[in-house]
Amino acid sequence: MSYDKNNIFAKILRGEIPCKKVYENEYVMSFHDIKPQKKIHVLVIPRGEYVDLDDFTTKASDKEIVEFHKAITHIVKILKISNQEGGYRVLSNTGKDGGQEVSHLHYHIFGGEQIGKMVV
């Protein structure tokens, strides 16, 4: 899968499509999923053009990688679902077999209720 500069997340980053933001900084943007699968369902995307986790860890700077993951911890605190507040799940689909639908790296954060089994 190659990077599509017109994918929905690229359009959100450019401000062409609105979103309900949770958090943003110079490295990431986080916003509520438009079709939530759990009580809390938020997406976290890097600002850089990375197709998936493999692409990100290969091409991103160490600073981008660290700040992306630090942002997740910050976001779950904002959402009040940190480990001290009940917990959460982070998920990233990679490639066709992994169920990736958008060619921009994104993590799903689920929380606010019992999530259930990892794979059904």
User: Could you give the residue numbers annotated as active site?
Assistant: 106
CB atoms within 10 A of CB 117: 5
Residue type, 115: I
| Ranges assigned E (strand) in 1-120 | 21-24, 28-32, 40-46, 88-91, 107-111
Q: Which helix (H) or strand (E) holds 29?
A: strand 28-32
The number of helices, as runs of H, and strands, as runs of E, in the chain is: 3, 5
